């Protein structure tokens, strides 16, 4: 920046000196601080802006966020609203970025002209695309950006100042969010003029054939591999986080530019948590109506053809599963998982010998733990929860936890579920001071959630049934699966239905009859069914004693699609060509 001294001569030969600091709207010093943080391997955190009120950006600035990203790719923001968001960052160290719709000279020029400190360019797949974006964001001779008399140049008053500093400071951030982009990641990381690479899990999942999933099968691993490549080649990496636990996990994984989320999702996180605390969780439909749990959903005559299953159901009695020793005296029997073609889900039983310990570890997916029998406690970063039978604790991905058997004479049996068909774990060699949580504690929002069986909210899911929701997207925003407990009195049953994801059903009390498209199975003593996506099924208690189950869906909300009862018979099997 340049200081200009104006000398004004008045009568009497007195001189008045005024100093005018000529500034452009680009925050050069703030951008330098931003890059210095990245160079020091510090995280830079920000907010994704999708709503029109510039007050949201003012709140982000007041909170000391490092950056905001104003989304002009999706949604409804117009250029006046974009400029108001940019204007709200003036005289702060919060960087203003604009995500445009595509590599386009006019869009990049306009975003920078209104005063943005950089542009985020989606769906970058080739070196040519990225090089073009860099050229459009830089003035000649380095690039092709035209000079306009807009906010960026103080409405034409600072042409020279802005042109002198812009090329050295402007940020061009590509988003890699497709299979093709991943294939070219090494070449993309070698493009000059790019400091940061952002990754888009949802669009990448869609391009890999898993539309609607945040991180479809194998996507999490691919993104980590791309991140490793980018870091090796000197680039910093960014990603949107889904919750506070995921934020910490991403920092540990080496991501530096971290979005807390979008403004709208953060509002919903707070609303959902408050409603859930009152026992009034809600589900929003795509038409923006709210699901009323007191209204029975309409039945379909038959399942949609798009949900035709590609696998058969499996019934997995205890003793038939994959046996794994997790630690001395701690044994897992995996009943549902990759070995029987489950997708996005692993469930089974873990048996603890008296006083045995499963040391601290983390998973790259969420985990649910339900005590079936015995005496045990689960510790999450030192917070110790003592469980009673059928109490559940659900732990978000990336959160360090340990389990201990508290009895010196009797084993403990726990049902576990993980939101992956091939889960992994990383051992954590870090001491956490132990804090005994109250017996009635329901966890530590927004981290782990504890459902106390005796006091949990109950609801009816079918005649003579009583259900408890342990975990789902409403109760734990950002979780990848949903599940709970179901009690069936004599004659209790669910209607014939399907799911748009795989399901695990474990019979923990009594005897259940599972009906799958006319095929009848008797289940008891921990036997666990894998119901693949699209299979028509229901459970009924045909015995004279109560029956109970623990069910887990490989989807974030417990959504059942009701179908005509005839579809659950041999004659009405809607998938007769599938065995």
Strands in 10-113 per DSSP E = 15-22, 44-49, 67-71, 95-99
Q: What is the pLDDT of residue 296?
A: 52
Question: Cis before residue 446, ω within 30 degrees of 0?
Answer: yes
Q: What is the pLDDT of residue 280?
A: 67
**pLDDT higher than threshold 90 for residue 559:** no
Separation CA 281–CA 272 (nearest Å): 7
Q: What is the pLDDT of residue 279?
A: 60
Q: What is the pLDDT of residue 291?
A: 63
Question: How many percent of the chain have pLDDT more than 70?
Answer: 92
**pLDDT higher than threshold 50 for residue 13:** no
**pLDDT higher than threshold 60 for residue 295:** no
**pLDDT higher than threshold 70 for residue 577:** no
Q: What is the pLDDT of residue 495?
A: 92
Q: What is the pLDDT of residue 579?
A: 41
**pLDDT higher than threshold 90 for residue 18:** no
Strands in 447-566 per DSSP E = 449-451, 465-471, 482-488, 497-498, 503-509, 511-516, 519-524, 528-531, 537-540, 547-553, 561-562
Q: What is the pLDDT of residue 108?
A: 97
Q: What is the pLDDT of residue 477?
A: 86
**pLDDT higher than threshold 70 for residue 7:** no
**pLDDT higher than threshold 90 for residue 21:** no
**pLDDT higher than threshold 70 for residue 17:** no
Residue 233 near residue 189 (C-beta atoms within 8 A):
yes
pLDDT band at 432 (very low <50, low <70, confident <90, very high): very high
**Catalytic residue check, 520:** no
Question: How many percent of the chain have pLDDT more than 90?
Answer: 77
**pLDDT higher than threshold 70 for residue 541:** yes
Could you give the domains of the chain? 24-270 (3.20.20.60), 305-568 (2.60.120.10)
Query: For residue 354, which of 424, 427, 417, 409 has the smallest C-alpha distance?
Result: 409
**pLDDT higher than threshold 50 for residue 14:** no
* pLDDT (tens digit per residue) in 418-427: 999 999 999 9
pLDDT band at 81 (very low <50, low <70, confident <90, very high): very high
Separation CA 422–CA 425 (nearest Å): 10
pLDDT band at 11 (very low <50, low <70, confident <90, very high): very low
What is the average pLDDT score of the chain? 90
Separation CA 370–CA 375 (nearest Å): 12
* pLDDT (tens digit per residue) in 86-116: 999 999 999 999 999 999 999 999 999 999 9
Query: Two tokens at 271?
Result: 């609303």
Mean pLDDT throughout 431-443?
91
Query: Two tokens at 238?
Result: 């960014």
Q: Which of 2-11, 251-260, 275-284, 405-414 has the lowest mean pLDDT?
A: 2-11
**pLDDT higher than threshold 90 for residue 255:** yes
Mean pLDDT throughout 304-308?
91
Q: Which of 8, 13, 74, 520 is catalytic?
A: 74
Mean pLDDT throughout 336-363?
96
**pLDDT higher than threshold 70 for residue 462:** yes
* pLDDT (tens digit per residue) in 129-147: 999 999 999 999 999 999 8
* pLDDT (tens digit per residue) in 42-78: 999 999 999 999 999 999 999 999 999 999 999 899 9
Q: What is the pLDDT of residue 4?
A: 32
Separation CA 294–CA 221 (nearest Å): 41
DSSP per-residue codes, 316-352: E-TTSSEEEEEETTEEEEEEESGGGT-SS-EEEEEEE
Q: What is the pLDDT of residue 113?
A: 95
Separation CA 576–CA 579 (nearest Å): 7
Q: What is the pLDDT of residue 1?
A: 32
Strands 196-199 and 236-240 turn out to be parallel
Mean pLDDT throughout 331-355?
96
Mean pLDDT throughout 509-524?
96
Strands in 200-285 per DSSP E = 236-240, 257-262
- 157 to 5, 144, 485: CA distances (angstroms): 16, 21, 68
């Amino acid at each position: 920046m340049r200081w200009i001294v104006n000398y004004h001569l008045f009568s009497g030969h007195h001189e008045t000196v005024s100093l005018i600091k000529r500034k452009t709207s680009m925050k050069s010093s703030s951008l330098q601080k931003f890059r210095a943080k990245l160079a020091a391997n510090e995280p830079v955190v920000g907010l994704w802006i999708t709503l029109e009120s510039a007050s949201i950006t003012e709140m982000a600035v007041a909170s000391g966020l490092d950056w905001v990203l104003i989304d002009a790719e999706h949604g409804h923001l117009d250029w006046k609203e974009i400029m108001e968001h940019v204007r709200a960052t003036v005289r702060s160290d919060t960087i203003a970025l604009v995500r445009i719709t595509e590599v386009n000279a006019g869009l990049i020029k306009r975003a920078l002209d209104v005063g943005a400190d950089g542009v985020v360019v989606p769906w970058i797949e080739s070196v040519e695309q990225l090089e073009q974006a860099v050229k459009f964001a830089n003035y000649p001779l380095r690039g092709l950006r035209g000079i306009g008399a807009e906010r960026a140049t103080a409405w034409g008053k600072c042409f020279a100042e802005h042109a002198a500093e812009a090329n050295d400071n402007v940020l061009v951030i590509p988003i890699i969010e497709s299979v093709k982009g991943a294939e070219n990641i090494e070449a993309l990381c070698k493009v000059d003029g790019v400091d940061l690479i952002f990754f888009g899990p949802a669009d990448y999942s869609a391009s890999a054939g898993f539309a609607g999933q945040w991180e479809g099968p194998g996507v999490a691993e691919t993104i980590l591999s791309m991140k490793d490549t980018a870091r090796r080649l000197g680039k910093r990496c960014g990603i949107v986080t889904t919750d506070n636990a995921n934020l910490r996990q991403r920092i540990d994984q080496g991501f530096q530019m971290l979005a807390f989320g979008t403004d709208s999702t953060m509002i919903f996180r707070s609303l959902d948590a408050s409603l859930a605390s009152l026992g009034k969780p809600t589900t929003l439909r795509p038409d923006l109506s709210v699901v009323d749990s007191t209204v029975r959903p309409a039945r379909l005559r038959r399942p949609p053809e798009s949900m035709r299953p590609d696998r058969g159901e499996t019934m997995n009695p205890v003793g038939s599963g994959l046996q794994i020793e997790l630690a001395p005296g701690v044994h897992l029997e995996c009943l549902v998982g990759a070995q029987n073609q489950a997708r996005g889900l692993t469930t089974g039983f873990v048996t603890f010998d008296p006083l045995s310990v499963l040391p601290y570890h983390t998973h790259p997916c969420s985990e649910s733990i339900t005590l079936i029998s015995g005496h045990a406690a689960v510790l999450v970063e030192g917070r110790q929860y003592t469980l009673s039978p059928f109490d559940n604790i659900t732990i978000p991905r990336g959160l360090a936890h340990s389990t201990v058997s508290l009895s010196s004479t009797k084993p403990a049996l726990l049902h576990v579920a993980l939101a992956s068909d091939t889960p992994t774990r990383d051992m954590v060699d870090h001491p956490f001071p132990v804090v005994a949580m109250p017996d009635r504690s329901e966890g530590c929002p927004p981290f782990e959630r504890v459902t106390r069986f005796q006091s949990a909210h109950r609801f009816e899911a079918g005649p003579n049934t009583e259900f408890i929701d342990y975990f789902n997207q409403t109760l734990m925003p950002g979780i990848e699966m949903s599940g709970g407990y179901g009690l069936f009195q004599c004659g209790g049953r669910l209607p014939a239905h399907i799911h748009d994801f795989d399901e695990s059903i474990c019979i923990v009390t009594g005897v259940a009859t599972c009906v799958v498209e006319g095929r009848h199975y008797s289940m008891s003593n921990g036997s666990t069914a894998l119901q693949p996506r699209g299979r028509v099924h229901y459970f009924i208690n045909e015995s004279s004693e109560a029956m109970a189950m623990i069910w887990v869906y490989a989807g974030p909300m417990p959504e059942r699609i009701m179908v005509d009862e005839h579809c659950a018979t041999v004659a009405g099997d809607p998938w007769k060509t599938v065995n």
